[in-house]
Structure 1
Amino acid sequence: MSLGFAALVAIVSFGCTQPNDTTLAQKPAKYEFAAQPSWQDEFDYAGKPDPKKWSYDLGDHGWGNNELQNYTDQIENAKVENGHLVIEAIKGKSGKADYSSARLVSKGKGDFTYGKFEIRAKLPKGRGTWPAIWMLATGNSYGNKGWPDNGEIDIMEHVGFDQNRVHGNIHTKAFNHAIKTNKGDNVVVETVSEEFHIYSCEWTPESVKILLDGKDYFTFNKEAGYEWTQWPFDKPFHLILNMAVGGNWGGQKGVDDSIFPQKMEVDYVRVYPLVEKK
């Protein structure tokens, strides 16, 4: 073998042993969240919620859960005062319903793909209340173009008949409560109606994590082989803040009319964007 040929073989062999792009791509990505929020409402004003950040879902049609309230855009049901957003459920005729409340949505004004979501809130108390802090897909990208195909992330749900417990869940076409396969967990906390707590979600391309006061109690990971039916969480979602009355879950033990009015108070909503560490 000539020296020139041997040198050429050595060069080719050395080149073949170098890490290729595929090998490098297999290194797990690491994520963190920005130190400052990219979208927030501190509720440091008074009156109706900021129309640049919030819209209203309206109606008294039961919302797919046989709920008993009419959602309105009236200031009696959603107002900002003393540095807090107040969503108030009131007993009284409203539309075809016997209760009124509010459901605020950031759709079209705050839509997010991944990030850390922090909401500091104090919850209502009493049998029949059903407050929630949650997220739905802003568009219809998958399946039948509706729920649950495009996904749902429940950062906080609480039902008044089970006072000392809060819940975090996800819903997808494959995993949802309608077919008894939903993924979620709950945590006991005895001061949800007496004190403010921070309800959080940390959403990355690899997982959805639900936290209470900075401690995670439920994580849903994107497993190998998952398709959109298991993991539709790669499109923009928006925030929803609401308080229902009664319904399939909130009304399981009936509604105590003596408790009304009831309030969910929100101190702030902050969204921190995802930053990928190289």
Structure 2
Amino acid sequence: MIAPIKQFYFFIALSAGCILSCQSCSSKKEDEAIILPPKPITIEDKQWAFEATPAWVDEFDYTGLPETSKWDYDLGGSGWGNNEKQYYTNSIANVNVGDGKLTITAKKESMSGMAYTSTRLVTRNKLDVLYGRFEVKAKLPTGRGTWPAIWMLPTDRAYGDWPKSGEIDIMEHVGYDQNNVHFSTHTEAYYFKINTQKTSKKLIPDASTAFHLYRVDWTPYAVRGYFDNAMVFEFVNEGTGYKAWPFDKRFHLLLNLAVGGDWGGAQGIDDSIFPQKFEIDYVKYFKMIEK
């Protein structure tokens, strides 16, 4: 009787071990399934159009400071994450409206430890949008050290701090590379500090002597950039989630003229060029027509 009893208990132990082993394997497979990247979702291009009449517009047909119902300011001289050298103010000496245009002026003057002053206008909490078309007609400054931009940032930062929640650069220009104008997007998967940014540039021979139209068409399918209504950039939604495409949340518009910085000051700053002006004829926002 002893041998059969030993065999019985051995069989029970072996069976229990197999069950535990199977459970362990099953648990491991479930854990692995959890960390697998999501399968891409196919995003359909529905050929979205935009309303013919702007839902928001500033044609700067007044005088003084920009209208407070439409614009706010980012103020200060922290370097703004790029080692920029200007202090942003809301002074009429740096930003004013007159003669049918908005002018942002960068000046060589000390303020709060910074060597230059300028302005950074924002529509945050005045105009925050999900999808649509922005058009900005502008004439750019010139000279080594200038760095004007027309761009967009997330209002709510739903996916985290930069670059996780995204950035859209409708127009960027650095004065040491005259007339080469850039359109870019930045996300956690694609941004300049890891050299994966989505970007394009175009030569505009008179970027600083004439007004040109800078535009973005933003839909669930793609961010498309246009200079003078010619497409220069397209970034299509890969359907892989926010790390590549955080552009499904509200964004607002920024207009600024930086001085120096990691890119704008890469070849130094020529103090003899100041003051420099970034001029904007109008800003328009058109809603996307839902489909």
TM-score over 0.5 for the pair: yes
Q: Is the 8 A contact 1:29 1:276 kept in 2?
A: no
Per-residue CA shift, 1:227-257, capped at 9, x if unaligned?
Answer: 1000000111000000000000000110000
Name the SS for the 2:54 alignment partner.
Answer: coil
Alpha-carbon distance, 1:118 to partner: 0.1
Structure 1 residues 26 and 62 mapped into 2: Cα distance closer, same or farther (>3 Å)?
closer
Alpha-carbon distance, 1:113 to partner: 0.5
1:175 aligns with one of 180, 190, 204: 190
Larger radius of gyration: 2
> Match for residue 137 of structure 2?
120
1:216 aligns with one of 224, 231, 245: 231
2:264 aligns with one of 239, 246, 250: 250
Show structure 1 runs of 5+ residues with no match.
Answer: 1-24
Q: Please give the alpha-carbon distance, in whole angstroms, between the structure 1 residues aligned to 2:189 and 2:261.
A: 23
Q: Is the 8 A contact 2:44 2:221 kept in 1?
A: no
Per-residue CA shift, 1:175-221, capped at 9, x if unaligned?
Answer: 00011111110000110110000000000000000110000111000
Q: Does 1:92 align with 2:109?
A: yes
Structure 1 residues 26 and 90 mapped into 2: Cα distance closer, same or farther (>3 Å)?
closer
> Match for residue 46 of structure 1?
63
> Match for residue 18 of structure 2?
none
Alpha-carbon distance, 1:95 to partner: 1.4
Structure 1 stretches of 4+ with a deviation exceeding 3 A read: 25-28
Alpha-carbon distance, 1:55 to partner: 0.5
Q: Please give the alpha-carbon distance, in whole angstroms, between the structure 2 residues aligned to 1:44 and 1:94.
A: 31
Name the SS for the 1:187 alignment partner.
Answer: strand
Count how many residue pairs are aligned between Structure 1 and Structure 2: 250
Q: CA RMSD in A?
A: 1.2
Q: Please give the alpha-carbon distance, in whole angstroms, between the structure 2 residues aligned to 1:133 and 1:59.
A: 19
Show structure 2 runs of 5+ residues with no match.
Answer: 1-41
For 1:60-71, what aligned pairs fall within 5 Å after superposition? 60-71=77-88
Q: Please give the alpha-carbon distance, in whole angstroms, between the structure 2 residues aligned to 1:218 and 1:155.
A: 10
For 1:70-109, what aligned pairs fall within 5 Å after superposition? 70-109=87-126
For 1:138-217, what aligned pairs fall within 5 Å after superposition? 138-142=155-159, 145-217=160-232
Name the SS for the 1:31 alignment partner.
Answer: coil
Q: Is the 8 A contact 1:90 1:261 kept in 2?
A: yes
Q: Is the 8 A contact 2:45 2:221 kept in 1?
A: no
The structure where strand makes up a greater share of residues is 1
Name the SS for the 1:116 alignment partner.
Answer: strand
Give the residue type in structure 1 aligned to 2:65.
Answer: K
Structure 1 residues 26 and 101 mapped into 2: Cα distance closer, same or farther (>3 Å)?
closer
1:240 aligns with one of 230, 233, 254: 254
Q: Please give the alpha-carbon distance, in whole angstroms, between the structure 2 residues aligned to 1:135 and 1:28.
A: 22
Give the residue type in structure 1 aligned to 2:195.
Answer: K
Per-residue CA shift, 1:101-144, capped at 9, x if unaligned?
Answer: 000000000111100100000000100000000000000211xx
Alpha-carbon distance, 1:97 to partner: 0.5
Name the SS for the 1:178 alignment partner.
Answer: helix
Alpha-carbon distance, 1:30 to partner: 2.6
Give the residue type in structure 2 aligned to 1:37.
Answer: P
Q: Please give the alpha-carbon distance, in whole angstroms, between the structure 1 residues aligned to 2:161 and 2:266.
A: 26
Q: Share of identical aligned residues, percent?
A: 52
Q: Please give the alpha-carbon distance, in whole angstroms, between the structure 2 residues aligned to 1:28 and 1:243.
A: 35
Per-residue CA shift, 1:131-174, capped at 9, x if unaligned?
Answer: 000000000211xx210000000000000000020000000011
Alpha-carbon distance, 1:78 to partner: 0.6
Give the residue type in structure 1 aligned to 2:252.
Answer: H
The structure where helix makes up a greater share of residues is 2
Q: Please give the alpha-carbon distance, in whole angstroms, between the structure 1 residues aligned to 2:210 and 2:44.
A: 43
